Every structure is written in structure tokens, then in C-alpha cells.
Structure 1
Amino acid sequence: MSVRIIGPVTLCIFATLIGALFVLISTGSTYAGVACGLVGLFVTAFMYDSAVHGVIRDDASPSSPTIVPPADAVDLLDRPEIDALIEALPQPALIISAGRIARANRAALALLGHHVRGEDVRLAIRHPAVTQHLVGERAGSETVQMELVGIGAANQSWELRIAPLSPNRQIVLLTDQSARQAAEKMRVDFVANASHELRTPLAGILGFIETLKDREAGGDVATRERFLSIMDGEARRMQRLVDDLMSLSRIEAEKFRMPEQMVDIAALAQETASVFHSAGHARAQDISLDLDLSCPPIRGDSAQMNQLIHNLVSNAFKYGRPGTPVTVTVHRDGPDAIQLTVSDEGDGIAPEHLPRLTERFYRVDASRSKAAGGTGLGLAIVKHIVERHRGRLQIESIVGRGTTVSVTLPVPENNSVRPPIASATTRQEALSHK
């Protein structure tokens, strides 16, 4: 027992004796005096026992005793469940002890390297702000959250979170924010591009309206007819853009719902060719069909698959040289899939543009695309339709020779049911996308 506890214990004993004597004299009851003495002795014994077993520290203040851990307490890092805990975390996780990496899960080792175990954290994460909170004066003082780049791939962005475990230990969690930031950038770009695509023709229409309101310019019949023709073209361009945006929105809304119909792709290809012929398209005679009519049907959405074929053929018309064939092929691709290909003979596309062709509003030649009536959404719609049908999209092109777009679609196990050829409803929908 420490010297610092002797004083309070002695004082308690004397207070007990005096209190018992006072009660005995004042009440004249021996039992009351004995009871008072026993209570005081019990309190004294409790204080002595607490001091001996270390529950009350020598330097503790009387108002707030400090609880210390038992002598046989197990260190946090020696607990077997701590390794299982950090391994269960899906994101990279580290436990820092005295500025060194004491524990790292598999995700962290894959990101930073297996050599980081036991290494100074400043060598594994080279960032001044991180260093300040892990080994600096502010280490372990508070929970910190910050954005971090320079770890992993060049364009990866991370959210780093540091939380204190004890005065010299912290847990570090790294969450990859690259996908979220890429999605946010796509959203911002999409809104900007959509606004631009709508604002440009709208500004043209408003300008022509102002001109036609002028008595002299608007009174000329030839000028009025020319302006009205341009206004009609710009209005229809906006209508096509709005239709494509709504179509893309509907496809994305159904992205995770598998289609339930059985669709004959060869029959749809035949129907699409008939639509172009019946609509009197200038290049309808350039369509060349190579169809394996024995191909089994796929599980799909007939309206969306019809739109997919229509978009691919329309693109081939726009970018293939006039008078050259646009070849549509449907054939088996092994026992479990069929493949649809649309090929043109045109100028082709440079390799650096191929990865971005399915981005919304991306155009290799913006002026040519707009002159041909394109909205910049055709291949984006194709990509989302293919994704919904769990298929694969591949674009190959040779500069000066042409482009081939291939769509591979899975065949369900039970493919004994063959649907009828595309209905009149599908034909009308194809015409509406023209």
C-alpha cells in the first residue's frame, strides 16, 4: 500500500471511532454505536483492498478514480481475431503502431506491396498530410478523412480514413473513389453535351424567327422558304435527340431486368432491311444479307434488338461510301451463342478513337455526323442494349477499308420455341427511329 493511501485510511479509522463514541453517548444505545463502528470499518477495509489490488491508482484524484487494465491483459495486436477482422474488410486496411505498419490485409498488400509489413508508413504512403496524422504531433488525436491520389494506377483516386485505436496506434482505411468520380464526370459531361446539342439548333431557330419577323427579309418568298426548311431540319434534329435520350433512359432503367421474350435475330435482320426498302431509303439497295435462318432464338427484347440492328445499319449507311455494300450477317458462334455483324466499306476509324465510340455524344468527325443527321447516341444505345442482353460488343476498323461491328448474344438452354417474324408493331417502331 502506498504512503499516499495511509493518510486517508488512518483518518477514516479515527473518524469511525469518534463517530461510534458520539452515537453511543448521545443515544445511550450500545447497538447503535457498534453498528456505526462496523460501517466505518467496512468503508476502511474497502479502501485498503482497492489500494492493494490496483483498482485505485496512487496518483488518482479522490473525485475520479482511474481504472487501469489488469496485469495479464492481452495486447491488441496479439489477439487472433484482429487479423480476421481486417481481412474481412473489402477495402485496403492497415494498422499503424508507433509509425510502422503492424498489420495489413490482402487488399492493402496487393495495392502497396507485400514488403510494407513492418515498414515505416511514410515509405508506403508518401503524402505529407498522411504523415502528419500518422507519425506527427497530431498522430492518434482525431479521426481524419481526406482525398488521396498517387497510389495504385495513375488515375486512381482514394478516400483515406484514419481512426485512432490507442495513443500510438491507428487504423487506416483506403476506399477507391475512381469509379464514383468517373461516373460523376460522365454525368457532368452528359448534361453539358446534351445542353449544347439542344442549344445549338434552338439558337438557329430563334435567329431565323427574328429574321422572318422583319418585313423586308420575311416578305421575300424564296428567303422565307429557305429559312423555314432550315428551321424544320433543326427542329427534327432536336426531336431525334430527345427521342434518343428517352430511349437511352428507358434502356438503362431496364438494365438489370432480363428480357423474357424469345427473339429471332435473323428474322429481325430481314425485317429491318424491308423497313429501309419500304421507307424508300436512298441506300436501301446497298443492304446485303447473309443470314443463317437455322440460328436458334435468343432471350431478348424484340423492340430493343430491332433498334440495335437499325442503329448499326444506319451508321453503316452514314459512314460507308455510297454504292458500296452494307453487309448484315447472322450466324452461329459456337453452340451457346449467335453473332450479328454489320460491315461497311468506308473511310474507317483510327485506332485511338475505337475505345470511345460508345461514349455518349462522342463523334470522330462532329461536322460529318451532324450533317448526316446523327445525334451521337446511336452506339451508346447499342452498347446498353447489348449489356442488358448479357452480350458482347466488338468494333473493328481499318482506315481506308471500313468498319465491322459485331454483337455476340447468348443462346438460352431451352431454345425449342421459335417466335414468328417481327410484327407490324416492330416495323413501326423501326420507322420511328429513322
Structure 2
Amino acid sequence: MFPRFIGLLFWLMVMGVMGFWYARTLGALAAALAFALFTIFKDLWRGQKISNWLRHNTVQEPPVLGGLWGDLIDRLRRILNDQKKQTESHQKRLQDFLSAIQASPNGVVLLDPEGRIEWCNQTAAHHLGFDTKRDVMQHVVHLVRDPVFKKYYLQETHDGEVIIEGRSSSLSYSVKLSVQLHAYGENRQLLLSRDVTALAQAEAMRRDFVANVSHEIRTPLTVLSGFIETLQTLDLKPEDRVKFLDLMSTQASRMQGLVNDLLTLSQLEGSPLPLMTEQFMLSELMGAAEAEAKGLSVANSVEGRLTQTLRFEMSQEWRLIGSRHEIYSAVTNLINNAVRYTPQDGTVTCIWAQLPDQRLQFSVQDTGPGIAPEHLPRLTERFYRVDRSRSRESGGTGLGLAITKHVMQRHGGELRIESELGKGSKFSLIFPESRTLEVLQNSSDIHLEVTHSSS
């Protein structure tokens, strides 16, 4: 403003000199005063235009002014433009940050110093049952009513995490959440939630698995220990010693079978998927499976001979692509289970057939006691048995169907189970078309039907 003042003083002097020159002192003063007032009014008018422009948040275009006010406008405009760019940059960063938090698989809740919800992402809303709009500024303890969380929240320090029930839990499905509180800012808190349902289920399965393995191994070991102690302490007749040794051999075989199945299951879970380059003929595989089934049926027979009807049918020859060892294990698991649970005068039918969608199906149907519907979904669980005592008597380990399910998953296929109490069961292996090759050959080279029975 100092140059402006100098200019005004200069013009007043000029007007004064002019008035004195013309000997019109009073007129000169009046002219100088009028000019000064005009200049002041003009400056006030320009200042008011700038004030109005600033008051309207710079939405309108800045006024066009010359001189000092024009320079001021240019400087203000540059400053405001820089501030606007910085604000837009900060807003974009904030929006990107919030978008990243929204995309997080973990729940994030911002709490004020009083524990009220300031903001939360959709994951936290799903985990804890929040409404992202309605529940803003609601106290978190009023919304998360789990006693474990309330106790954790009221602690002076929040070390570690606690596990609580998720809002979407139900009687049939339990959702487990890990929640943690972290301090930040001025007495604010960050609440994090993480869905650990899968981890909790895996841990429960691990505990059950260890308990089941321990139980399955302890039982035959206890029997063996008892027999060994008897042989060591009692003077038995030769025929009794032979009987005890046979029983010990049975228990040892049972433990060996259990260990073998455990090793097979471990290999299936940890090994790469079967290659598409390995192939084998179904007729050769079924010949070996048939011989094994016949031997098992005779061994289980009270009369020491084959009394069950075992039927094997295959309309044509196929070549399967995959691991012969794994598929043989799956096929024989189904056949042997059917032989074990079918009465001595019952029938076990094994059929290979092509489905309308070109997939290949192997089905084993028996005339056994059947399985109640409530047991069907759990049959492929490790060590799950419908009748534990009968399974042990038949020599099963409780791992056969779990192994079969893994084999089919590794080959892109599926295991289907159908059963009806009092009528029998049907277990089917369905292989994808990509795993099968049709082989053209003379029908005389294929065993269309092989039947062994008491008749």
C-alpha cells in the first residue's frame, strides 16, 4: 500500500500546484479532495469485489482488476490453486487408503476415546453385525455383546488376541473371530477382526485325528501286551499257545493296516497331482481287485469257502489315465467294504459303465444292512464309523473312504454314496472324460461278466 500512498500524495501536490497557479486555492483544494475521495472509493470498490470473491469460496471467476489489486488477485489465485491441488491430493490419498482398507479380508473399526465407532469397513460390519451408517457413534461394547470381548475391552492393556463368536454363527455352523485392540492417536483405538473359523476347524480336526490314532493304536497294543504277559507267565498247552499267537498276529496285522493307511493318506495329501502320462488297462486292474475280493470273502466265511455272490461287469475295455496304485486303492476300498458288510449269502455287484456325458463310472452295489441318512455326509471323515464294534470285527481302519475321496479329488473325479436301510448301499467312482480312453478290441478278449457264488 505504500506506493499507492505515494502516488496519492503526488497527485494531491499536483492538484495543489495547479490551484495555486490559477489562484484558485479553494477550488484546487476541493478538486484535490474530490480526487482523493474518488480514489479511495475506487479502492474500496475493488477491495469489496475481492472480498466477495473470497467469501464465495472462489467458485466464481476472480474479478479482473489492474494495478496493485490485479497483482494481489494473481497472487491469491496462485496460492488458492496450490492449496486446492494439495487438498485434492490429500483427499485422493485418503480415498485410496479407505478403499484399501475396504478391500482387506480383515475387519477394521476406528474407535474414538470413549469407545464409540467412528468408521468401519464392510468386513468388520459382516464379522460383528454392524450397520456402517446406523451404528456410527454407537459404543462398541453395546453392539459386540460377547462376554469374552467385553472382559477384554475393559482391561487396562490389550495384549494378544481373543477368540469370540461371529455374528453370523448359527446352531449348525460356528464362526470364530480373532479380535485385537491397538491404541493409536490421542486415546483412540483400532479394533481388528479376523475370521479364524478354518483355523479352528483345522485345529479341531488335528486334535480329533491325534486322539483317534492314539485310540486305534492303543487298543491292539493293549491286546498284544496282555497276550505277551500271558505267554510269559502261564504254562500254556501248545494248542492254547497257537491260539494266542494267532490272535496276536491278527492285532499286529490290524496295526500294520492302520499304519499303512495313515502313510497312504499322508502321501496323497502331500504329493503332486498324478501325471497325465501314466496309463493302465482297466481289465488288468479289475483282475487283481477280483482276486483280492474273492480271498477276503473266503477268509470272512464261516464255512471257509466262497458263499457270497461276487459279480464283476465291464461292457468294454478302457484305459485310465492316472496313478494305477491310487486308483487300485480306491477301487479295492469300495469292493472290500462291500464284501465285509454283506451277509454270507448276499451279493456284491461291481460295474464299469460310461455315463451319457462321456464320464466313466465304477459302481459297487451290495445287499448289506444299509446306512442311515444321517451318517452319509460323514462317511468320508477319518476314523468315522457307523458301527465301531462291527468295523473292528471286520478289520476296517476307518480310513478307507477318506483315502478314496482324496484319490478321486486328485484325479478330478468324485465319490458318490447312496444307501437305504435294510436294502444295501451303492458307492460310485466317477472319472472325468479327460482321464479315460476307450480301447477297441475283440469282445472275446474282455471278461464281460465274472461271477463267483455258492451255486
TM over 0.5: yes
- For structure 2, the 5+ residue unaligned runs are 1-82, 299-304, 442-455
| Equivalent position to 1:304, from 326, 348, 368 | 326
CA gap of 1:193–1:91, structure 2 versus 1, over 3 A, is same
CA gap of 1:226–1:277, structure 2 versus 1, over 3 A, is closer
For residues 306 and 162 of structure 2, what CA distance do their matches in structure 1 show? Answer: 57
Work out whether 1:206 is the aligned partner of 2:242.
no
Shift of 1:328: 1.6
For residues 344 and 243 of structure 1, what CA distance do their matches in structure 2 show? Answer: 26
Structure 2 counterparts to residues 30-429 of structure 1, below 5 A = 79-97=94-112, 99-113=115-129, 115-119=131-135, 120=138, 121-128=140-147, 130=149, 145-154=161-170, 155-167=174-186, 169-214=188-233, 217-254=234-271, 256-260=272-276, 261-265=278-282, 268-277=285-294, 281=298, 283=306, 286-293=309-316, 297-335=319-357, 337-412=359-434
- For structure 1, the 5+ residue unaligned runs are 1-69, 421-434
CA gap of 1:208–1:130, structure 2 versus 1, over 3 A, is closer
Shift of 1:381: 1.1
More displaced, 349-358 or 267-276? 267-276
CA gap of 1:95–1:411, structure 2 versus 1, over 3 A, is farther
Shift of 1:314: 0.4
For residues 274 and 419 of structure 1, what CA distance do their matches in structure 2 show? Answer: 25
Which string of whole-angstrom CA distances, capped at 9 and with x for unpartnered residues, describes residues 305-330 of structure 1?
00100010000011122222212222
For residues 91 and 440 of structure 2, what CA distance do their matches in structure 1 show? Answer: 66
For residues 185 and 251 of structure 2, what CA distance do their matches in structure 1 show? Answer: 67
Shift of 1:340: 2.0
Shift of 1:394: 2.1
Task: Specify the SS of the correspondent of 1:375.
Answer: coil
Contact 1:262–1:419, Cα closer than 8 Å, also in 2: no
Task: Specify the SS of the correspondent of 1:218.
Answer: coil
Letter in structure 2 aligned against 1:83: L
For residues 266 and 334 of structure 1, what CA distance do their matches in structure 2 show? Answer: 22
Task: Specify the SS of the correspondent of 1:307.
Answer: helix
CA gap of 1:132–1:275, structure 2 versus 1, over 3 A, is closer
Which string of whole-angstrom CA distances, capped at 9 and with x for unpartnered residues, describes residues 232-286 of structure 1?
21111112112211221211222x5343323555653354224434788455862
- Size of the aligned set, in residue pairs, is 342
Task: Please say which structure displays the higher CA radius of gyration.
Answer: 2
Q: When the two structures are superposed, what TM-score results if normalisation uses the length of structure 2?
A: 0.66
Shift of 1:368: 0.8
Letter in structure 1 aligned against 2:326: Q
Which string of whole-angstrom CA distances, capped at 9 and with x for unpartnered residues, describes residues 1-27 of structure 1?
xxxxxxxxxxxxxxxxxxxxxxxxxxx
More displaced, 363-372 or 305-314? 363-372
More displaced, 121-130 or 375-384? 121-130
> What is the percentage of aligned positions where both structures have the same residue?
33
For residues 328 and 244 of structure 1, what CA distance do their matches in structure 2 show? Answer: 23
For residues 117 and 270 of structure 1, what CA distance do their matches in structure 2 show? Answer: 68
Q: When the two structures are superposed, what TM-score results if normalisation uses the length of structure 1?
A: 0.69
Which string of whole-angstrom CA distances, capped at 9 and with x for unpartnered residues, describes residues 90-111 of structure 1?
2333333464444333333444
For residues 318 and 278 of structure 1, what CA distance do their matches in structure 2 show? Answer: 12
Contact 2:368–2:422, Cα closer than 8 Å, also in 1: yes
Shift of 1:84: 0.9
More displaced, 173-182 or 125-134? 125-134
Letter in structure 2 aligned against 1:86: I
CA RMSD of aligned residues (A): 3.4
For residues 124 and 283 of structure 2, what CA distance do their matches in structure 1 show? Answer: 50
